[in-house]
Amino acid sequence: MRDLADVRSVSEPAAAHRAALHRTEQDLHALQTALAAMARAHTHSSAEAAEADASFHRAPFNATGNDMLARMDLLEPGLRVRDRVVHAHEPADNPVPSHRAVLDAVRDQIPARAELAMLDLLAKAVHDLDQVTRAPDSARRP
């Protein structure tokens, strides 16, 4: 999971930046559709939430207009596993606002804001994973 987070921190902010520069209306539609699915899935199963999240994170890579970046779907299996772990625990934080910030910046074609929004989203993702995978305080060693 740490390796996945590291690769995401390098690739996804850059993809969001480029997506803001090169996105089409079809790309925006894909982001909006994925975000709507995330909103619906948030209160449903962790598998549904993971699939919606994977769709959202695929969209900026596709929106770059770069065929090589569009093939970064190799990250999706790891992303789905991570999301199922995080979304299976209560209380699962609402992921929509952090993802909406990325969508809004891409829609508005503001590359630096898209990149920063993705960095914020990824920092939150690492924090969320840490919250559900760390040992309880009583089980930790001093």
Residue of higher predicted confidence among 53 and 44: 53
Tens of pLDDT, residue by residue over 64-103, are 999 999 988 888 888 888 888 887 776 567 889 999 999 9
Let me know the angle formed at the C-alpha of 42 by 37 and 125, rounded to the nearest 5 degrees. Answer: 100
- Which residue is listed with tokens 């606002």? 97
Token reading at 113: 């804001």
Residue 56's pLDDT band, with cuts at 50, 70 and 90, is: very high
Instruction: Kindly report the three-state secondary structure assignment for every residue of 86-123.
Output: HHCCCCCCCCHHHHHHHHHHHHCCCHHHHHHHHHHHHH
Contact 40, 55 (CB under 8 A): no
- Which residue is listed with tokens 């959202």? 56
